[in-house]
Copies of this chain bind each other. A is one copy, B any other.
Amino acid sequence: MATIIDLAAKAGVAPITVSRVINNSGYVREDVRKRVQQAIEELDYVPNALARGLRSKRTYTLSLVLTDITNPFFTTMARGVEDAASANGYMLLVCNTDEREDKERVYLQLLLQKRADGILLVPSRKLSVNADLFRNRHTPVVILDRRVEGISADVVRGDSVQGAYQLGVLLASLGHKRIAMITGPSGVSSSEDRETGFRKAMREAGIESTLLVYNGYFVQESGMEMTNKALQASPPPTAIFAANNFIAIGALKTLQAKGLRVPEDIAMVAFDDLPESMVTFPFLTVAAQPAYDIGVQGVRLLLERLESEAPTLFREVVLPNELIVRKSSGEAVKYHQ
């Protein structure tokens, strides 16, 4: 493969002059530039990003480490990250941790090795065992979607407390007194924050004491299991709050299997909307997070820090959710418990 040395020989200049042409830096006379560009064409030259990165200490690569690439919420977020990155001349590396801290560690180490200019991370746990990887390193990090302790970084996330609170207020206002919350694991901030917000709404409505809470995982099967358990409670809930989209779909499946209609027999609300393109008949009432925007803002903060326009203190950007009321939350409840 041709190198700038070959190009330099062909164009009759020094390698560094070729470098100047490629990078559009420094001074190059117009006719020299033409000669070099012609040599580039003729030799079918492809710059070696490894050598460039090694010498210049900039790879123009960002990396995104997230927990579940099959979840449309994260796919959308990733799209936001990608668009913002590529608009600024950066490539994006995406890694998937399956919510596992060991995989997270392996990937973060690999990314540090590759000298990505910056990292966007959806941490799998609030208390990260991988926080140590970032100490004494100058690779800047932005935390997305969740809070984490022990990592000095900017944070961009949706307002889980507020979104869950709104959904709770809605259910309470519809007259529900016995509500089940099916959520992710404790130790994950989004899960905990949604519980906090929802509890607050319950407390204000005076029905916190009858609240049923089930902790599981942010996947469909877990949604099914938790729903099964919730339905066995006595008295059973008249409404369910699912803490993310996959849990919600699992719940709907279980309800359908049991012959329970939504919202006639039981009401449902959930966190995270599904993309319009994937749902034939949207009917879940949700707190929709600005997934795409979380990604875009994350890149903005990261690039500011790379170009050292950022303040020394770390920032936390909390974006509001949108409450979308559809069929699944139903009408006001007409009966007593």
Cα separation A277 to B76 with both chains bound (whole Å)? 17
Which residues of chain A in 84-123 are interfacial with respect to chain B, using CB atoms and an 8 Å cutoff?
91-96, 109-110, 112-115
A233 at interface, CB cutoff 8 A: no
Cα separation A276 to B224 with both chains bound (whole Å)? 13
Cα separation A197 to B336 with both chains bound (whole Å)? 59
- B91 near A91 with CB under 8 A, answer no
Which residues of chain A in 57-81 are interfacial with respect to chain B, using CB atoms and an 8 Å cutoff?
59, 61, 69-70, 72, 75-76, 78-79
A313 at interface, CB cutoff 8 A: no
A150 at interface, CB cutoff 8 A: no
Partner of A46, one of B79, B109, B252: B109
- Among A1, A79, A136, the one with the most B-chain Cβ atoms within 10 Å of its Cβ is A1
- A114 contacts which chain B residues (CB < 8 A)? 49-50, 61, 91
A319 at interface, CB cutoff 8 A: no
Please give the number of chain A residues whose Cβ is less than 8 angstroms from any Cβ of chain B in the complex. Answer: 49
With A69-B78, A94-B94 as contacts: A112 and B46 at CB distance below 8 Å: yes
Stretch in A4-12, A175-183, A278-286, A303-311 with 4+ CB within 8 Å of B: A278-286
- A219 near B277 with CB under 8 A, answer yes
A38 at interface, CB cutoff 8 A: no
With A70-B75, A246-B277 as contacts: A51 and B54 at CB distance below 8 Å: yes
Interface pairs A-B: 9 shortest CB-CB = A49-B113, A50-B54, A252-B280, A220-B277, A50-B53, A49-B114, A46-B112, A50-B50, A94-B94
A79 to chain B, nearest CB (A): 7
Partner of A277, one of B82, B94, B249, B281: B249
Cα separation A137 to B137 with both chains bound (whole Å)? 36
- Among A47, A50, A252, A253, the one with the most B-chain Cβ atoms within 10 Å of its Cβ is A50
Closest to A223 in B: B277
- B82 near A44 with CB under 8 A, answer no
A127 at interface, CB cutoff 8 A: no
* Contacts beyond the supplied A1-B137, A69-B78: 17 A-B pairs with Cβ under 8 Å: A49-B110, A49-B114, A50-B50, A50-B53, A51-B54, A70-B275, A70-B277, A72-B278, A75-B75, A79-B96, A91-B110, A92-B94, A94-B94, A220-B277, A246-B277, A256-B280, A274-B278
